[in-house]
Amino acid sequence: MLTLKNVYIARDHAPIIAPVSETINAGEVLALMGPSGVGKSSLLAYLSGTLPSGLSGHGEVTLEHLAIQDLPIEKRQLGLLQQSPLLFNHLTVEENLLFAYKSPESRFLRKQAIRSKLEEIGLEGLEHQLPQHLSGGQQARLALLRTLLAKPKALLLDEPFSKLDHSLRAEMRELVLDAIQKTQVPTILVTHDQEDADLMATRVYSLRSI
Amino acid sequence: MGFLGVFLPSFGIDPAAGSDQFTLTAWKQLFHSAEFWSGLSLSLFIGVVSTALSYWIATSLVIACFGSHWFDRLNTFIAPILSIPHVAISIGLIFLISPSGWLVRWFSPWLTGFERPPNWLIVQDPQGWSMILALVIKETPYLVFAIMAALSQLDARSRIQTAKILGHTTISAWHGTLLGPLYRLVRLPIMIVLAFSITVVDVALIIGPNTPSTLAVTLLRWFNDPSLMLRGQASAAAIVLACGVVCMMLLWEACYFIYDKLRKYVTLSGDGITNIRPLTWFSALVGSGIFLLTALTLIVLPIWAFAHRWRFPDTWPSQFSLNTISRLGQRLFELSMSSLSLALVSGFVALLISLVLLERERRFLQSKLVTTMMLFTVLMPQITLLFGIQVGLLWTGWNGNWWSVLLLHLIYVLPYVYLTLKAPYLAFDERILQQANLLKDSPIKNYLLIKLPLLKVSLSAAFALGFAVSMAQYLPTIMSGEGRINTLTTEAVARASSGDRKLVSSLALIQAFLPLICFYLATVMPKHWTTWRVALRRKFC
């Protein structure tokens, strides 16, 4: 369960969005909508700990009853999927996934697990490719798989489908929804596309500026 | 020509010495010389250790500062340090760390009990640690500068954030996602540092070991042997030194390859890199110490230059005076003018040649030949190349005048100016010049009045770098000047061991001060040039 209590973003101590208080239960998807520039992505950045300097975030964020807003990024156990897949181009597909897949299992078992996951999303046989040699759709799937392999306790989606064409977008939506159902993680989806919200969200929250 | 000039004499063919018989005597002599083997191992040891330390400290410092306001401050600190010559830093370091140096004075006698300088072998120690320290002080800022420039091409912030969101710590994120690609971008600066550290002469003469000396210093002595009997042996040693540099570069790459594989294995092992965190922070702390030492070396120089009486163990001089400066005023002025004229002319000529080469490259061909030649000059040991060129100069009888010194300065100034200017010059949006040519049919005038002023920031930065490179040249000046042309650098190196600290510090101070002024002007003037010009026009027109 991910809870936001009076969370808002400020610039020079002046709030730029109205405070948000919401609880997202396991497997739920909260769509965060609002006009461009209102601060949707900044809110996600505050949750993930990547807020750029110049902006400050306020309010309490709890994940499974643990306040995470002051924790370092790597301790928050959140997954973040953005427009750009942000893959590491100097590592192969398999190495990108190994980087995220932390487990006490042996390297051999982890590699086996990765190969079967790659098969599930239709990327079998590509484990030794470099990410820049994959298509846009393949890169998006790889980014999703990498995020899930880190076993996040909540998922933040920052317009992850906006760069994809229509057919790829539908395919990715399905994959992401399927992953959310399987892992039962609470999810926040930032989008300006009503179709994304209609097809994926359990609830929609309209963010207001001040 | 430079390479032939050492290759042929090593096999007995030396027209300048009047011999034309092919022989292997020089090589046999060289391999039987104990001084050669000890000098070679010392040179390789100092070069590799100082480069490895500089790289590790520079990387740790950048990791520690990245994402904080210290990162921008680091950038501001570094740029002026880069323009200060090695010689000035080495001399300042001696005044700081020697047994009678400032550091010991701070703690004497109240803590150490020393009423006289202790009998410690700190500078010119046989293992070369003081020389390693001097090289680390000078090379760490250069590598930090190179790393920071490379980071801007790698979208570093988002890489680190992505890795952290995936659960990696800062250190693990750096090692897993950035340091590998970063190394490919800073490989050339690292190789330049490695080649320089193995073959440097001036720093070695000032603060390096002398029982035995590094190979570069030893072979300089052999070359200058009045009997000319050792020239063949020196040429052979110069070739070995060049080969040693290449071998060390290959060894470095092999070691880095293994290190990178190991790092990747650990990063992808399931729990990331965690155990080198204390080492990284410690190295960053050492890096901060390096900057502090640099600042202290620059502070101690003017104190000595203006000291009238400074007895050990006093922390400060008992009296300050302008005696040294006024006593040596005429000599310092002559040396400054000599250095200034060479630096200004070589910087300006190198800028002109670079503009011609780059314009030719932009219009006709994207050839790698020029860049390769420039890199070859920078990476090739100065001592090897210059001896060859000197043989040529002697043969043509064109040695020992201002023009020959200028030519040799130009050989080393040009690559730096060209390589600095290349990226911004080729990135210039030519449509602006095309627009100017459409408006006014005078291409040359448009080039001078439109394109060059728009490139003024890059042009002045390249000129300032060329100026600093020329100011720091030691070997090219003594080899082509034959003692007739002296500069602040040659005089400072020659006097470094004289014991006249006031004179040496005055020389080093001016030597450090002139490039700093040039660097400052090159940074400030282009930014305000247009504002000043418009203000002047408003006032007088």
Six token digits for residue A195: 């179709």
Q: Which of A74, A88, A95 sits opposite B167 (nearest CB)?
A: A74
Contact B135, B50 (CB under 8 A): yes
| Dist CA B450 CA B71 (whole Å) | 35
Element (H, E) at B503: helix B501-540
Residue ranges of chain A whose pLDDT lies below 70: none
Q: How far is B68 from chain A (nearest CA, A)?
A: 10
Contact between chains at B164 and A72 (C-beta distance less than 8 A): yes
Closest CA to A80 of A174, A192, A159: A159
Q: Is B32 helix (H, G, I), strand (E, B) or coil?
A: coil
Q: Does B179 touch chain A (CB under 8 A)?
A: no
Q: Which amino acid is at B96?
A: L
- B168, B264, B269 ranked by CB distance to A74: nearest: B168
Q: A102 vs B162: CB contact, 8 Å cut-off?
A: no
Cα dihedral B262, B264, B267, B273, rounded to 10, equals 40
Predicted complex ipTM:
0.85
Task: Tell me the chain A residues in contact with residue B167 when contact means C-beta distances shorter than 8 Å.
Answer: 74, 77, 100, 102, 150
The 10s digit of each residue's pLDDT in B494-504 is 998 887 888 89
Question: Long-range pairs for B243-251 at CB < 8 Å and ≥24 separation?
Answer: B244/B40, B244/B43, B244/B44, B244/B198, B244/B215, B245/B47, B245/B194, B245/B195, B245/B198, B245/B199, B245/B379, B245/B380, B245/B381, B248/B44, B248/B47, B248/B48, B248/B194, B248/B198, B249/B191, B249/B194, B249/B195, B251/B48
Chain B positions in Cβ-Cβ contact with residue A142 (cut-off 8 Å) = none
Residuewise pLDDT in 10s, chain B (541 residues)? 667 778 888 888 876 667 778 888 889 988 998 899 999 999 999 999 999 999 999 999 999 999 888 888 887 778 788 888 999 999 999 999 999 889 999 998 888 888 888 888 888 899 999 999 999 999 999 999 999 989 988 889 999 999 999 988 888 899 989 999 999 999 999 999 999 999 999 999 999 998 889 999 999 998 888 877 788 888 899 999 999 999 999 999 999 999 999 988 888 886 666 667 788 888 889 988 988 998 999 899 999 888 888 888 888 988 888 887 788 888 899 999 999 999 999 999 999 999 999 999 888 876 788 888 889 888 988 888 888 887 778 778 788 889 999 999 999 999 999 999 998 999 999 888 888 888 877 888 889 988 999 999 899 999 999 999 999 999 999 988 888 899 999 999 999 888 788 889 999 999 999 999 998 898 888 888 777 877 887 777 6
Please give the C-alpha separations between residue B145 and each of B82, B140, B149, B190, B458, in angstroms, as whole numbers: 9, 9, 6, 12, 16
**Distance, in angstroms, between B168 CA and closest chain A CA?**
6
> A95 and B268 in contact by Cβ < 8 A?
yes
Which residues on B lie below 8 Å from A103 (Cβ)?
Answer: 270
Instruction: Please list every residue in chain A whose beta carbon sits closer than 8 Å to the beta carbon of residue B158.
Output: 84, 86
Structural tokens at position B118: 């202790």
For the stretch B19-64, pLDDT in tens is 778 888 889 988 998 899 999 999 999 999 999 999 999 999 999 9
CA distance B392 to B3: 10
Q: Which tokens in the block code for residue B187? A: 């490989």
Tokens of B323: 């005696």
- CA-based nearest residue in chain A for residue B165: A74
Torsion of CA B368, B371, B376, B378, to 10 degrees: -160
Looking at residue A62, what is its pLDDT? 95
The SS3 of residue A188 is: strand
pLDDT of amino acid B271: 66
The answer to whether the beta carbons of residues B241 and B12 sit under 8 Å apart is: no
Q: Where are the alpha helices (DSSP H) in B83-212?
A: 86-97, 102-106, 129-151, 156-165, 170-173, 179-199, 202-207
List, in order of start, the domains of chain B with CATH numbers: 39-212+240-320 (1.10.3720), 322-541 (1.10.3720.10)
The CATH topology of domain A2-77+152-206 is: Rossmann fold (3.40.50)
Domain ranges across chain A: 2-77+152-206
